C-alpha cells in the first residue's frame, strides 16, 4: 500500500486570522506558524515569487493537522462559496462532544448551520456549518455511550 497515513489537510484562505478564530472555536489549537517563499515553493507550486503565511492547527494527541495557508503573492482576494452538493473536496468532518453547545458558540460568533441537526440511524447527530470563506465543516456527535 503506497499511502502510509494522512499527514495533514491544507486550506487556502484569504483571512488567516478569521480562519484561525473559527477553527479555534471548534477546539483546534495552533501548533505553529511560519512563512514560506523561495525557489522550493515556486517549483512545488509552479508559480513565480510565491509567498505564503501558514498556520498548523491540531487537536492534542492527534497526529493529523490542519494547515491554513494565506498567499501573500500571488494574492487572492476572492473566496468562492459553493453549494454543499458541488463536486470537489466539500467539507471536513469532526467528531465532537457537546454538539449543541458548540453550535451555540459558533452562532454567537456569526457562523450559521447550513441545515438542521439530523439524527443518522441513532448513531450520530450531524450538522453542517459554513465557516469563513465558504469552508464547510460537518460536526458529528456520537449518540449514547462515548
Asked whether residue 49 is domain-assigned, the answer is yes
110 φψ region: left (φ > 0), alpha (ψ -120 to 50), beta (else): left
> What gap in Å lies between CA 77 and CA 138, rounded to an integer?
26
| Residue 30 forms part of a structural domain | yes
Domain total of the chain: 2
Question: Does residue 34 sit in helix, strand or coil?
Answer: strand
Classify residue 85: in a domain, yes or no.
no
Same domain, 16 and 59: yes
Residue with cell 450538522: 127
Question: Is the pTM of the predicted complex or chain greater than 0.75?
Answer: yes
Flag whether 87 is in a domain.
no
Give the tens place of pLDDT for each residue, 117-135: 999 999 999 999 999 988 9
Q: What is the pLDDT of residue 146?
A: 60
Query: pLDDT tens digits for 34-86?
Result: 999 999 999 999 999 999 999 999 999 999 999 999 999 998 777 677 777 77
Amino acid at each position: 500500500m503506497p499511502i502510509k497515513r494522512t499527514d495533514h489537510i491544507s486550506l487556502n484562505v484569504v483571512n488567516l486570522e478569521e480562519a484561525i478564530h473559527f477553527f479555534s472555536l471548534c477546539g483546534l489549537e495552533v501548533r505553529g506558524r511560519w512563512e514560506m517563499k523561495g525557489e522550493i515553493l515556486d517549483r512545488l507550486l509552479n508559480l513565480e515569487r510565491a509567498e505564503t503565511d501558514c498556520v498548523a492547527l491540531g487537536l492534542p494527541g492527534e497526529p493529523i493537522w490542519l494547515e491554513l495557508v494565506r498567499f501573500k503573492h500571488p494574492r487572492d482576494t476572492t473566496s468562492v462559496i459553493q453549494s454543499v452538493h458541488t463536486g470537489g473536496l466539500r467539507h471536513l468532518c469532526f467528531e465532537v462532544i457537546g454538539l449543541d453547545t458548540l453550535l451555540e458558540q459558533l452562532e454567537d460568533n456569526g457562523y450559521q448551520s447550513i441545515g438542521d441537526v439530523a439524527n443518522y440511524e441513532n448513531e450520530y447527530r450531524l450538522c453542517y456549518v459554513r465557516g469563513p470563506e465558504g469552508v464547510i465543516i460537518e460536526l458529528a456527535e456520537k449518540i449514547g455511550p462515548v
